[in-house]
Amino acid sequence: MITNQFFLTCIGGIFSTALLFLNLYFKEFNLAEDSKRHRIASDNIWIIREQYISLLTDFETLSENDILAKRDILQKQTFEVYNTSPKTDAKSYSDAQKALKSEEEQFFTPDEIDKMLPAHLRIGK
């Protein structure tokens, strides 16, 4: 009887300690808020990417000065998004670096790039 009670007390203590650490972890890091901020940054970067694609499409109709001015605006917008977005940790950065370098994620073949570009900018017209 005493052994069972001691065993259950030890198990209860272990679970209490584990829950304490989990509670402290989640109190320190607001994961839902961080996730939301990353999602907002991603959405903002997406619209900037679309504006760059539109700029490429408009090359024939814009003057060189207009193109440079729009490019500068897009660079400033990109800086603002990155400046206000949550920073990544070393492990996440390393994982992304590996995925981009070794596993060639986010790399496109020339045919895939041609399909994304406006017709007048494609190589394989």
Please give the pLDDT value at position 61.
92
Mean pLDDT of the chain: 85
78: closest CA among 105, 46, 100? 46
pTM: predicted TM-score of the whole model, two decimal places: 0.57
Please give the pLDDT value at position 104.
63
State pLDDT tens for residues 26-75.
776 777 788 888 899 999 999 999 999 999 889 889 999 999 999 999 99
Please give the pLDDT value at position 77.
96
